[in-house]
Amino acid sequence: MKAKHLFSATAVSLLLSSQASLAAISPQEAERLGQDLTPTGAEMAGNASGTIPAWTGGLTDVPAGWKRGEDRPDFFRDEKPLFTVNAANMSKYEAQLTEGMKAMLTQYPEFYMPVYPTHRTAAWPQWVYDNIKANATKAELKDGGNSIKNVWASIPFPIPETGIEVMWNHLTRFVGTYREIPSAVENTLYNNGQRLEWTFNNKTHFTFYDPNADVEAKEEGIIWRYSSTMLSPSRDVGEGILLMDYLNPVDSPRKAWTYDPGERRVRRAPNFAFDTPDRPVNTIDDYDMFNGSPERYNWQLLGKQEMYVPYNNNRLNMTSNTIEDTYRLPVLNSDLTRYELHRVWVVEASLKEDSRHIYAKRTFYIDEDTWTILATDKYDNNGNLWRTSLNYPVTAPEVPVTAGGTYNHYDLKAGAYYSLFGVQGQSSAQTFDGEAPKASFYTPAALRRRGR
């Protein structure tokens, strides 16, 4: 099966030239949503060969007896892989693999990709679908594409024409209203056997999608408020982070604070963005596969392609798994992973001449149904593939949403990987639709109180 590109080189060039232009679509185009396009803008139909099915509404049936905080079931636990991609046979499937996947398959025999039948389980609440259709004719880019306006509680560009529009869809996609992980797992693992492990409490309020968001939050254009407090190891207990991101990062750059329990002080953290190191093998803007202002890159839409990507990975994201069995060396336990054939938007980010970042180029693979980045490849200033990342979201029909889960950043040079937002071995799974704390929770003073 050959990869399907929907845009020619000429078309891409034209799209790039208009990247900073207005992006609202016509009412006639918006009528396609829910017709030949899904309510989120994906192709409703399956592919010609039948290996990708049509979207029929996604998975919205909550398992009988299931309670929030419990592991969500593996909805396809009785399925067997159609085949497994490994180093020996990857040439057969290379058109559906990212460069990072091919590098991982070549470098690590322990890395392989069990490919299962495709299920288009993605679904969002009906009120989000309604908002998408209503906002699609009004949403616009501004500040050369570095901000957006005239949109609230929906992705802005369900029928994108440029790379920056696709990235704004990722940045503003629906991932629930309030994500809470009582004890999230964070790891950095080196091939020499060294393991650095943390756990932290995470509370993220997606203000942008909160039906009860106040007028002030809407006027400020807050996308989300994030707060975390370290739970382990003992040397880091009480350390805290507070972040806020905005629809207009030009006029309202990210606000960030950190709390150090040793000093008992909250400090502003203006550099908590872009390529500031987070843990040893990732940057701050690697969080969520990409986050923050898009201002340092030129964004080129390469088209849409059928690719094997992580999907329906509830089995991996279970508290009943142990940390040791999940996060193995030198790679994540491949037996717990699941890949499916899906259509993804491919966007290439090239560093602007007047900007700096340790990644000179990045390639993103964004799921057409959820606007979630499922894979990304990152290149150094010499054009060499340096790091590659894979995202394994949870399928949560109770919301409904496909979001959260663990993602993993592999450093091919250092021989290490970083994982974040796992729940393996913990007492509670993550939730996406609880009651969010009041805005006063997301203040520097409250951050200091939590760190005591």
Tens of pLDDT, residues 372-431? 999 999 999 999 999 999 999 999 999 999 999 999 999 999 999 999 999 999 999 999
- pLDDT band at 17, cuts 50/70/90? very low
Per residue in 116-167, pLDDT (tens digit) is 999 999 999 999 999 999 999 999 999 999 999 999 999 999 999 999 999 9
Helix (H) or strand (E) holding 207: none
pLDDT band at 451 (very low <50, low <70, confident <90, very high): confident
**pLDDT tens for each residue of 180-215:** 999 999 999 999 999 999 999 999 999 999 998 988
Per the CB < 8 A criterion, the answer to whether 393 and 405 are in contact is yes
pLDDT tier at 16, thresholds 50, 70, 90:
very low
Segments making up each domain of the chain, as ranges:
9-59+77-450
Is there a contact between 365 and 376 (Cβ–Cβ < 8 Å)?
yes
Residue 353, pLDDT > 60, answer yes
9-59+77-450: CATH number: 2.50.20.10
**Gap between the Cα atoms of 423 and 155, Å rounded:** 28
Highest averaged pLDDT of the listed ranges 6-10, 17-21, 342-346: 342-346
The per-residue pLDDT for 20 is 45
For position 10, what pLDDT does the model report?
Answer: 37
DSSP secondary structure string for all residues of 357-423: -S-SEEEEEEETTT--EEEEEEE-TTS-EEEEEEEEEEEETTTTEEEEEEEEEEETTTTEEEEEEE-
pLDDT digits (tens, 9 = 90+) for 33-77: 999 999 999 999 999 999 999 999 999 999 999 999 999 999 999
Tokens of 74: 């593996």
pLDDT at 23: 67
272: amino acid identity, one letter: F
Q: Please, what is the end-to-end C-alpha distance for the chain in angstroms?
A: 57
Tokens 């900073």 belong to 20
pLDDT value at residue 14: 40
Q: Which two tokens stand for residue 117?
A: 């039948």
Residue 100 confidence (pLDDT) above 50: yes
CA-to-CA separations, 179 to 16, 74, 182, 226, 442, in angstroms, rounded: 35, 20, 10, 9, 14
* Cβ burial, residue 49 (10 Å; 0-12/13-18/19+): exposed
